[in-house]
Amino acid sequence: MASETPRLSAEFLQSLLGQGNTAQRVRQYMCAIVTLSSLNYPDVIPHVYEHLSSNLLAELTPVERQEAVRKVREGLIKSTGIAGAARTGNAMRTLSRCLPDEYRETESPRSKESEEHAKKRGREFWLSIYARNPEFDPEATVRASPDYTFVVRGNVFLIPV
């Protein structure tokens, strides 16, 4: 039995505007879109993006709008290691269909960075996730599956195993 696509209430969407500065509100929308992607509901993303566009992006300068959309995409990219490439890809393609041409990326910033810089950034990201948890034992992952560790650290986070 297929699950029914959720419908987000007006109250929920309005709560994304929340309180705080623009960056915090963009983050709320990003979290909603990443969550929908992770739960495999990319078809709800246009509804959230439309609310973002008409309620927050409309108040920003063109440069701020582009930066806000970039942050949403970055949130999706970073969720790949947790949600998987297939779900993230579906969400990214769905979001892309919502975006005006001026918000589209035409090249990959990551493709221009050195391998050394990419590894440094990957390690910093990995530590920002796991170092906060004093109970996390990175060697437990190695013991559980050296192959999984190789794939995740070597290909997602670019950390040598």
| Structure confidence by residue, pLDDT tens digits, 2-51 | 567 788 999 999 999 887 899 999 999 999 999 999 999 999 999 999 99
How close are the terminal C-alpha atoms of the chain, in Å?
41
Report which of residues 158 and 28 the model is more confident about: 28
User: What's the pLDDT at 56?
Assistant: 95
What mean pLDDT comes out for the span 49-65? 95
The answer on 143 and 89 residing in a single domain is no
Rounded to the nearest integer, the mean pLDDT of the chain is 87
Residue 3 lies in a domain: no
**Coarse DSSP helix, strand, coil percentages of the chain, rounded to the nearest 5 percent:** 75, 0, 25
The answer on 124 and 95 residing in a single domain is no
The answer on 140 and 80 residing in a single domain is no
Give the number of other Cβ atoms within 10 Å of residue 119's Cβ.
15
Say how many domains are in the chain.
Answer: 2
The answer on 117 and 88 residing in a single domain is no
The answer on 64 and 121 residing in a single domain is no
68 pLDDT tier (thresholds 50, 70, 90) = very high
The answer on 77 and 40 residing in a single domain is yes
The answer on 46 and 20 residing in a single domain is yes
What mean pLDDT comes out for the span 46-64? 95
**Are the C-beta atoms of residues 32 and 48 closer than 8 Å to each other?**
yes
